[in-house]
Amino acid sequence: MTTTTSPDAARPAGATTSTGPAAPAPWSALVNAALLGTERRQPPVAVRPGQGAAAALLDAAAVSTVRRRAALRPAPAGERPAPAPADPRPVLPPAARRRLALLLADRGGSGGGSRRGTAPDLTELLPQWLAAANGHGYRAPEALLPALLDAARARTDLRPAALALAGPRALWLARLNDAWKFVLRGSGGPAEPSAAADPGRVRRLWEEGLFAERVALLTALRRRDPREGLELLVTTWATERAEDRLLFLDSLRDTLAATDEPFLEQALSDRSRNVRATAAELLSTLPGSALAARMARRAHAHVSADRSADPAVIVVEAPHECDAGMQRDGVAPKPPSGRGERSWWLGQLVDAAPLEGWCERFAGRTPAAIVALPVADDWRTELHDAWCRAAVRQRNAEWARALLGAPAAPAQDAEVAPAGSSRDLTKLLTVLPADERARWVAEFIAAHGLSDAFRMLGVCAVPWAEPLGRSVVDALDIARDAGSYPWSFSGVMGLAERCLDPAAADRLDMLTAVTDEPEGASPGSGGYWAEAFQRLVGTLRLRATMRDELAPPSGDPDGRSAR
């Protein structure tokens, strides 16, 4: 039997026909031939005279690869990002812009090692620089925004000031880079919406905006009209996540008003324990609230004065149970480990009761006179601790002053407590006006030295007002004369670098010289102290330079010519 075939049927793929080039062999056919080998399978390509089958196969594969790549269809273009929002604030002056670049470039620090040398620590100056720049109302240069957001990602303490300087463009950039997604959940940093925004835009932003935008919107509305902001929050309160309800509730703290009471009373029944506790805390800071009155009645029922004693004695009878009403009003029934139930319940009642009510309860005595009264049955510490928490929560300076006592009192009477304790002098100090706070800490240092004053210094206004600055420097000089190593006071020295008035640099020059070491001093301490004071003076002068760099040009108080 004879089979007739077309001449083209036996021609390998890729060969030239009388009408032009043949269609290229499929890529799968080339791969199969390569896998099986040209000795077992004739490659589906034209083999030129003198060319081996394997070389022809490789040539065809190379041509096919180029052809396939050249013919690829491009992927559909992604949606172009919306333009960055406008930021009308003035840009930084050129010198301040260069300074910010240096501070951000050095944010990793100068490396390890216990000896810092005399160079200022730029990393620790960045927060102060950001605060000063925001105080002038500047915006960050566009080119430095990525580095600024990277710094804020690495250091949570920088975030509020860094995001404020970055402005609305921080949110715009955060949508384009997952590394900065913390901005989308932050609060208080990106620019607040205008208080004059139209109602439709406000509603749309509240329902569709990112969490940071919603918090900023609520804050802006609350500052204009607390009732308006609360009405907006109520519209979606029931559908918010528990963690968002908690943060929204906490954002009401700075603008708390009597009109918030009904909403907060409802929040006492919230399904989230943290939301309930925060609502109770906020209500307790409203002295006229129903919750404050209920807590006062409970607390006064357990604390009274025994007038038959001379002098009068405070008598305490702690509660025997934590009923449902107490729990709804924020009293946690289960005490922490090592704490008795009754003292735990009593403390919560007293620190939620309005402090003004105790003066009436104790026959018109002043807070100082009440604090001075003896307390029976070893309840003094528990009662005074609760009053301390109440003074901090209610921002009552008169009670804080009474509980602090005299700064020059013996240390055992001052009852210096560790961080986190309810009997924390540092927390009480935050209630006092800034100038009074500085005077109190200065007198405390003069009487007790620096060992117990570090945390107190951290809550004093910057730059330190006199006599606080002089008191700190005098205490450091005394420590040097005693022959101690300066790194024993490295924390205080670091605070002094950031908080002393830069104007003090010239009068501190005398401390930069190496002095003779006293007998029994630590070896080499004189040189180390001189180095530490040189760094202090250098840092103060750098801070003065940074302050001058941020100042608007002469005759332009708003800095508009820096655009």
SS3 state at 216: helix
Contact of 45 with 25, CB cutoff 8 Å: yes
State the pLDDT at residue 464.
92
Parts of the chain with a pLDDT under 50: 1-20, 110-114, 187-196, 411-416, 418-420, 561-563
What secondary structure letter does DSSP report for 488? G
- Residues 484-516 have pLDDT tens digits of 766 778 889 889 999 999 998 988 888 888 776
The C-alpha angle with vertex 200 and arms to 194 and 206, in degrees rounded to 5, equals 70
Long-range contacts of 552-555 (CB under 8 A, 24+ apart): 552/90, 552/93, 552/136, 553/93
Q: Which two tokens stand for residue 302?
A: 């357990």
- Residues 77-123 have pLDDT tens digits of 778 888 999 999 999 999 999 999 999 997 655 444 445 677 888 88
Q: How many CB atoms lie within 10 A of CB 328?
A: 15
Kindly report the backbone phi and psi dihedral angles of residue 479, in degrees, each rounded to the nearest multiple of 5, phi listed first: -65, -40
State the pLDDT at residue 124.
87
What pTM was computed for the model?
0.72
State the pLDDT at residue 108.
55
State the pLDDT at residue 197.
54
State the pLDDT at residue 15.
45
Kindly report the backbone phi and psi dihedral angles of residue 264, in degrees, each rounded to the nearest multiple of 5, phi listed first: -65, -35
State the pLDDT at residue 442.
95
